[in-house]
A and B are shown apart, each in its own frame.
Chain A
Amino acid sequence: MTPKRKQRLIIILALVFGSSLAIGLTLFALGENINLFYSASQIASGDAPKNTRMRFGGMVVKGSVERSTDSLEIAFKLSDGASQVKVVFTGILPDLFREEQGIMAEGRLDEQGVFQADEVLAKHDENYMPPEIAESMKKKAEAIQ
């Protein structure tokens, strides 16, 4: 093998090694960390898996927010217009959290069908609705008509 070819071979091998490492890591990480989105109706009808990390979004139901008196635990209900699901969260809520606001929660669904959130997201803009929530609410509205 000429030195030039040898050099090329080494470079190509390095490239192959580098990219397979990256692809391996990527696939592994993607498999572990994809969170599917579910709407309230899907959860209420039992379509959503239990104890799997997922995203759940909907409108905060008016008058459903209950606060614990001695800790930061808070419970509220999220709705997509048809069904409601209870969410429990411990911690500080984002500034834009309020009743009748579109909210995205991340966490797991427990055996009782209560969504145990470890993260609650509200968007910067109060008029902004996460596309997932907007779509699931639109679907409900169409189904009702």
Chain B
Amino acid sequence: MIPEIGEFSLILSLCLSVVLATIPLYGVAIHNQLWMNYAKPLVKGQFLFLSISMICLGYSFAVDDFSVAYVANHSNSQLPTPFKISAIWGGHEGSLLLWAFILSGWTLAVSFFSRALPLDMLVRVLSVMGMIAVGFIAFLLFTSSPFARYLPQFPADGADLNPLLQDFGLIVHPPMLYMGYVGFSVAFAFAIAALLSGRLDAAWARWSRPWTNIAWAFLGGGITLGSWWAYYELGWGGWWFWDPVENASLMPWLVGTALVHSLAATEKRGVFKSWTLLLAIFAFSLSLLGTFLVRSGVLTSVHAFASDPERGLFILVLLFLSIGGSLTLFAFKAPNVKSDAQFSTVSRETLLLVNNVFLTVMAITVLLGTLYPLLLDALGGGKISVGPPYFNAVFVPIMSLMTLAMGASMTIKWRQTKTETILQTLWKPLAGSLLIGIIFPFIYGNGFDFSVFIGISLSCWVFATTGLGFIYKFQHTASYWDRLKKLSLSYYGMMFAHVGVAVVAVGITLVSVYSEERDIRMEKGDTVELSGYTFEFQGTKMVKGANYSADQGRLIVTKDGELITELNPEKRHYTVKRSMMTEADIDPSLWRDLYVALGEPLDEKGNAWAVRVHYKPFVRWLWLGGLLMTLGGLLTVADKRYRKKVVV
């Protein structure tokens, strides 16, 4: 009964979405106030019914209703309850339902928090989001309903959730990532609304900015969480694999970052207007493409769990409709949108433009590397794969150049700054950063290292210039405290995010260059030394969990004879899935992680084990930086200028 209610609610929400996508928009066209007023209640209804759907699916999981195919495939009566709930998004159908649910959540939020928006603008935005909802709910209902039943004979117990997904990381990572993906639909809807109405001014940018920033923050947070999860759960100590699905989330983030900056210029200076629109369209299109790549199974990927050509085709059609439609609209309407302000070559605008170019180029190279194998295969050129070396070779130089420009922009003013002034202010931090970059590898490592030099110099450069920009804010002021209070939250947000980039750069550089890793055969009493730490293997013992049994290893870590920690990595055997899982154990700290994972037993009695030992310096900085960026993005949204009522 409950699953049928869920299915029925889904159908109702589809009907409401169809109405939302058409009637209010038509109301705008014929200036009918009554029809326009339908938009808000329709949004509420759509959200209500999708919530009911979500609750029904959650309930089916909670009570182990294995007559529902999706539940039977992704849960088990032995599964701990929090994982039963998070199993809602542990597979294809449920995660699409989550997608649609979050979309309607964003739509509801727009209808609530945009009281300042003129009604016709709001209605356009809501209707466009309604159109997206139609596409996705239809996709759910026609190709992948999570409520389909196994009838008449259903299994007595479920097939269990993939052990890798039975983890805290999976409870938070997908919803966070989807909040970001789907959040760009708001920026997209605003862009389409602007094109439809021909209205694109500072007020428009001010409406659309907080939504874009918050989506960007969530997406960044989601990527950070995913990286952290992969690091501790996959058991090989990597934090980024250039997997197609990771790329799928990175591309909208890159374009989203460009959009955030270009929107800033549009709001403050009225420049880059049509470029901003184009970025908004592309950020969302790439989110859709990401969904397509993950869900259609066209790519060989660790994430691709369901491959079904019919689904892939459906998303592809959806993709063509939305990208094709919005770009056609752009082509017809964009010439009306003119940037009215002027700026000189040496100005913050130019640097923002440079930053945009770099970010877009990076997104394109990632896109190329991700889709190239697909294209080649489609053209009959054979099966190939593009590996991490490609991405590193392309990504790192462009990223470095962009970081250089990013630091410079912090002290340069809008409109125009004299070249001499720039040189005067910037030569000191530049020289200082280069010096630290040269010295650092000698102190921390064993000698000069070019990557470390570049990475550390760039990070110091961003730290220093961000600090300088902050200090300049106090130049012509008597009371520091007043000034501190007067600085907008947006400004603090920007500082946080930029410092975050520098922190990530430190992490990437040091963990890439100074990591040490050993795969080694160990018997009880064997020791291995790594970066000054001694790991002694003391054998394994059996332990039992809720739905698994495990061999738990014991390693004593000492440094210079002093006990540092004891690590207990596990090799788990999940009984229902009959699958093995490596559970690494980590001793984390701000400066280094000690990471131990068990391979497999190497003899019959289980005395000798393959053991993987890592020393990972500064690896935490990666996620710390990601967290800072997310925090920065969220801070800008809290800025009070977005809460003011806009006089139109």
B164 within 8 A of A: yes
Q: Point out the residues of chain A lying under 8 angstroms from B603, CB to CB.
A: 69
Shortest CB–CB separation between residue B76 and chain A, in angstroms? 15
Query: Which of the candidate stretches B22-30, B190-198, B381-389, B553-561 sits at the interface with the other chain?
Result: B381-389
Let me know if A29 and B393 touch, CB within 8 A: yes
B591 within 8 A of A: no
B235 within 8 A of A: yes
Let me know if B393 and A95 touch, CB within 8 A: no
Chain B residue with Cβ nearest A95: B580
B468 within 8 A of A: no
Q: Contacts A22-B394, A71-B521 given; indicate if A96 touches B579 (C-beta within 8 A).
A: yes
Q: Point out the residues of chain B lying under 8 angstroms from A96, CB to CB.
A: 579-580
Let me know if B383 and A95 touch, CB within 8 A: no
Per a CB cutoff under 8 Å, which of A25, A28, A72, A135 touches B599? Answer: A72
Let me know if B382 and A36 touch, CB within 8 A: yes
A34 within 8 A of B: yes
Q: Point out the residues of chain A lying under 8 angstroms from B369, CB to CB.
A: 26, 30
Let me know if A33 and B361 touch, CB within 8 A: no
A33 to B361, CA, bound (A): 19
B484 within 8 A of A: no
Let me know if B384 and A36 touch, CB within 8 A: yes
Shortest CB–CB separation between residue A120 and chain B, in angstroms? 11
The proximity string for B residues 556-582 relative to A, scoring 1 for CB distances below 8 Å and 0 otherwise, is 000000000000000000000101111
Let me know if A131 and B307 touch, CB within 8 A: yes
State the main secondary structure of chain B at its contact with A: mixed
Let me know if B520 and A72 touch, CB within 8 A: yes
Shortest CB–CB separation between residue B354 and chain A, in angstroms? 7
Let me know if A32 and B389 touch, CB within 8 A: yes
Q: Point out the residues of chain A lying under 8 angstroms from B162, CB to CB.
A: 124-125
Let me know if A32 and B393 touch, CB within 8 A: yes
Q: Point out the residues of chain B lying under 8 angstroms from A22, CB to CB.
A: 361, 364-365, 394, 398
The proximity string for B residues 338-378 relative to A, scoring 1 for CB distances below 8 Å and 0 otherwise, is 00001011000010011001100100110011001000000
A30 to B368, CA, bound (A): 10
Q: Contacts A7-B344, A33-B389 given; indicate if A26 touches B302 (C-beta within 8 A).
A: no
Let me know if A18 and B389 touch, CB within 8 A: no
Shortest CB–CB separation between residue B398 and chain A, in angstroms? 6
Let me know if A72 and B519 touch, CB within 8 A: yes
B593 within 8 A of A: no
Chain A residue with Cβ nearest B581: A95
A104 to B353, CA, bound (A): 43
Shortest CB–CB separation between residue B173 and chain A, in angstroms? 14
- Please report the total number of A residues contacting B with Cβ < 8 Å: 46
Per a CB cutoff under 8 Å, which of A14, A32, A33, A92 touches B354? Answer: A14
Let me know if B579 and A132 touch, CB within 8 A: no
Let me know if A33 and B387 touch, CB within 8 A: yes
A82 within 8 A of B: no
Let me know if A36 and B383 touch, CB within 8 A: yes
B109 within 8 A of A: no
- Please report the total number of B residues contacting A with Cβ < 8 Å: 53
B480 within 8 A of A: no
The proximity string for A residues 68-106 relative to B, scoring 1 for CB distances below 8 Å and 0 otherwise, is 011110000000000000000011110110000000101
Q: Point out the residues of chain B lying under 8 angstroms from A93, CB to CB.
A: 599-600
Q: Point out the residues of chain B lying under 8 angstroms from A135, CB to CB.
A: 383
Chain B residue with Cβ nearest A135: B383
A132 to B361, CA, bound (A): 30
A19 within 8 A of B: yes
Q: Contacts A72-B519, A123-B302, A124-B162 given; indicate if A33 touches B581 (C-beta within 8 A).
A: no
Let me know if B386 and A33 touch, CB within 8 A: yes
Q: Contacts A92-B519, A126-B577, A131-B300 given; indicate if A34 touches B600 (C-beta within 8 A).
A: no
A55 within 8 A of B: yes
The proximity string for B residues 492-525 relative to A, scoring 1 for CB distances below 8 Å and 0 otherwise, is 0000000000000000000000000001110000
Shortest CB–CB separation between residue A100 and chain B, in angstroms? 13
Chain A residue with Cβ nearest B300: A130
Let me know if B385 and A18 touch, CB within 8 A: no
A35 to B117, CA, bound (A): 52
Let me know if A30 and B386 touch, CB within 8 A: yes
Chain A residue with Cβ nearest B362: A22
Residues in A1-39 with C-beta less than 8 Å from chain B: 3-4, 6-7, 10-11, 14-15, 18-19, 21-22, 25-26, 28-30, 32-37
A138 within 8 A of B: no
B154 within 8 A of A: no
B305 within 8 A of A: yes
Let me know if B397 and A25 touch, CB within 8 A: yes
Chain A residue with Cβ nearest B165: A124
Let me know if B610 and A35 touch, CB within 8 A: no
Per a CB cutoff under 8 Å, which of A10, A14, A32, A128 touches B304? Answer: A128
A62 within 8 A of B: no
Q: Point out the residues of chain A lying under 8 angstroms from B297, CB to CB.
A: 131
Q: Contacts A35-B384, A70-B521 given; indicate if A18 touches B610 (C-beta within 8 A).
A: no
Let me know if A37 and B383 touch, CB within 8 A: yes
A9 to B582, CA, bound (A): 57
A115 to B519, CA, bound (A): 20
A67 within 8 A of B: yes
Residue of B383, B384, B386 ringed by the most chain A CB atoms within 10 A: B383
Shortest CB–CB separation between residue B349 and chain A, in angstroms? 10
Chain A residue with Cβ nearest B600: A93
B150 within 8 A of A: no
Q: Point out the residues of chain B lying under 8 angstroms from A92, CB to CB.
A: 236, 519, 597, 599-600, 610, 612
Q: Point out the residues of chain A lying under 8 angstroms from B384, CB to CB.
A: 34-37
Shortest CB–CB separation between residue B344 and chain A, in angstroms? 7
B602 within 8 A of A: yes
Shortest CB–CB separation between residue B179 and chain A, in angstroms? 23
The proximity string for B residues 168-205 relative to A, scoring 1 for CB distances below 8 Å and 0 otherwise, is 00000000000000000000000000000000000000
Per a CB cutoff under 8 Å, which of B342, B358, B385 touches A35? Answer: B385
A14 to B305, CA, bound (A): 43
The 9 A-B residue pairs with the shortest CB-CB distance, nearest first, are A92-B599, A37-B383, A29-B393, A33-B390, A29-B390, A22-B361, A95-B580, A33-B389, A132-B383
A-B contact pairs, 10 of them (CB 8 A): A10-B345, A22-B364, A25-B394, A26-B368, A29-B393, A37-B383, A67-B602, A72-B520, A95-B581, A96-B579
Q: Report which B residues bind A (CB closer than 8 A).
A: 162, 164, 235-236, 297, 300, 302-305, 307, 342, 344-345, 350, 353-354, 357-358, 361, 364-365, 368-369, 372, 382-387, 389-391, 393-394, 397-398, 519-521, 577, 579-582, 597, 599-600, 602-603, 610, 612
For the complex with contacts A126-B577, A128-B304, 10 further pairs of A-B residues with Cβ separation under 8 Å are A11-B345, A14-B357, A19-B357, A21-B398, A29-B389, A32-B389, A69-B602, A72-B599, A95-B580, A131-B307
